[in-house]
């Protein structure tokens, strides 16, 4: 019942949500890296840098490459750069990183949003929550919402999409179901980060290309209207130079999604042409007289594919090949005339 409610509200809100589907990269610090992101299909970048002159350089590089930025407003507000920042290509001002983890009150978040909007009334705000369900409901306190959840390798891969869905349900419950919801996909090795239990064995690895692809599309099917990827660096150095094989995994998925962006932005969400049963999940958009169906297998086992979708009229755009069974955690994107 909850899933049907989400779908109905997404359908009603689709004209607003379809305006922009960002593909954004976290943790970009060097303007020289911006063309690399552009070539990989990304449309925006986030940084943890706060010093205004450094932000100026990143904003200029982004603007030159027709990309947007997500910056903390803290040190820009009240600085010599505040006036110029009105014209930066800002996707959203980043209010706080995981207020649920740092136990920010609703008032503190609201105050941060109000301060940013007073300084930059024409720009959006955003914040990221560390899970889909939070004890304090932050879902309505910013213009857009980010949700990060990093399951590889210690949690079920489908928990990413589940938490995107929980966040969308939270937005709906707070009356902001029409606001953008951006999922943050894991592209890092947990061994590089502080563990909550220092007495535990450190676990971790970099996600496979298939896992990155699955999480991305699982997020979309569960309500994400944009995707961010965390994080551009490994051992404090850019992925493309430090781990080119890992970067290739990311780039293969980002370029693939970049080609689908017109459909994700301008396509209308409609009922799926073919009914699917769990553990399969699907989402369909109508775009320029064609139907585009995202079909994912949310199971660790192969699952029989719907026979109707195996017909020749359904052209496979994403996926190795059509077969009677969809492999575990696989993704198909299919196209056919209306």
The residue ranges of every structural domain in the chain are 2-266, 269-337
pLDDT score, position 276: 96
pLDDT score, position 199: 61
pLDDT score, position 203: 86
pLDDT score, position 15: 34
Q: What percent of the chain has pLDDT over 70?
A: 92
Tokens of 206: 């970099």
Q: Which CATH number fits domain 2-266: 1.10.10.60, 3.30.1360.20, 3.20.20.80, 1.10.340.30?
A: 3.20.20.80
Residues 6+ positions from 306 with CB-CB distance below 8 Å:
274, 275, 276, 280, 295
Burial call 289-328: b when 16+ CB within 10 Å, e when fewer: eebbbbbbbbbeeebebbeebeeeebeebbbeebeeebeb
Q: In 3D, which of 109, 196, 192, 181 has the Cα closest to residue 148? A: 181
Tokens of 321: 């090949």
Helix runs in the chain, H state only: 2-17, 34-39, 52-64, 82-85, 99-102, 106-119, 159-173, 209-221, 239-242, 244-266
Helix %, strand %, coil % for the chain, to 5?
35, 20, 40
Q: What is the pTM assigned to this prediction?
A: 0.93
Q: Assess if CATH 2.60.40.1180 describes domain 269-337.
A: yes
Q: In 3D, which of 317, 274, 320, 277 has the Cα closest to residue 297? A: 277
- Residue that is written with structure tokens 């563990």 in the block: 195
Residuewise pLDDT in 10s, the chain (338 residues): 444 444 444 443 333 333 699 999 999 999 999 999 999 999 999 999 999 999 999 999 999 999 999 999 999 999 999 999 999 999 999 999 999 999 999 999 999 999 999 999 999 999 999 999 999 999 999 999 999 999 999 999 999 999 999 999 999 999 999 999 999 999 999 999 876 666 666 789 999 999 999 999 999 999 999 999 999 999 999 999 999 999 999 999 999 999 999 999 999 999 999 999 999 999 999 999 999 999 999 999 999 999 999 999 999 999 999 999 999 999 999 999 99
Q: Are 90 and 58 in contact (CB under 8 A)?
A: no
Q: How many Cα atoms within 13 Å fall on the side-chain side of residue 276?
A: 24
**Distance in angstroms (rounded) separating the CA atoms of residues 38 and 66:** 8
Residues 6+ positions from 218 with CB-CB distance below 8 Å:
157, 158, 160, 161, 164, 281, 296, 298
pLDDT score, position 194: 76
**Distance in angstroms (rounded) separating the CA atoms of residues 150 and 193:** 12
- Residue 183 bridge partners (DSSP): 147, 227
């Amino acid at each position: 019942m909850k899933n049907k409610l989400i779908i109905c509200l997404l359908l009603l809100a689709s004209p607003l949500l379809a305006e922009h589907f960002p593909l954004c990269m976290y943790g970009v610090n060097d303007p020289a890296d911006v063309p690399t992101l552009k070539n990989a299909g990304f449309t925006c970048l986030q940084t943890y840098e706060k010093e205004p002159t450094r932000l100026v350089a990143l904003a200029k590089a982004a603007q030159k490459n027709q990309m947007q930025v997500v910056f903390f407003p803290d040190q820009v507000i009240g600085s010599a750069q505040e006036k110029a920042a009105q014209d930066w290509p800002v996707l959203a001002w980043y209010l706080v990183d995981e207020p649920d983890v740092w136990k920010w009150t609703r008032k503190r978040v609201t105050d941060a949003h109000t301060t940013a909007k007073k300084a930059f009334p024409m720009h959006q705000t955003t914040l990221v929550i560390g899970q889909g369900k939070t004890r304090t409901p932050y879902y309505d306190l910013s213009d857009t919402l980010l949700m990060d959840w990093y399951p590889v390798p210690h949690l079920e891969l489908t928990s990413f999409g589940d938490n995107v869905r929980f966040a969308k349900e939270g937005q709906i419950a707070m009356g902001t179901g029409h606001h953008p919801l951006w999922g943050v996909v894991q592209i890092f090795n947990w061994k590089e980060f502080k563990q909550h239990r220092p007495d535990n064995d450190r676990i971790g690895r970099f996600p496979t290309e298939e896992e990155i692809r699955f999480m991305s599309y699982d997020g979309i099917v569960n309500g994400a209207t944009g995707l961010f990827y965390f994080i551009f660096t490994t051992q404090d150095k850019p992925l493309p130079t430090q781990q080119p094989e890992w970067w290739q995994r990311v780039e293969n998925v980002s370029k693939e999604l970049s080609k689908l962006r017109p459909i994700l932005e301008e396509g209308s969400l409609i009922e799926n042409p073919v009914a699917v049963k769990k553990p399969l999940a699907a989402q369909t958009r109508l775009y320029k007289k064609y139907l585009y169906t995202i079909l994912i297998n949310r199971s660790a086992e192969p699952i029989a594919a719907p026979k109707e979708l195996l017909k020749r009229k359904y052209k496979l755009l994403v996926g190795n090949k059509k077969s009677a069974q969809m492999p575990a955690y696989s993704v198909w994107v299919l196209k056919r005339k209306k």
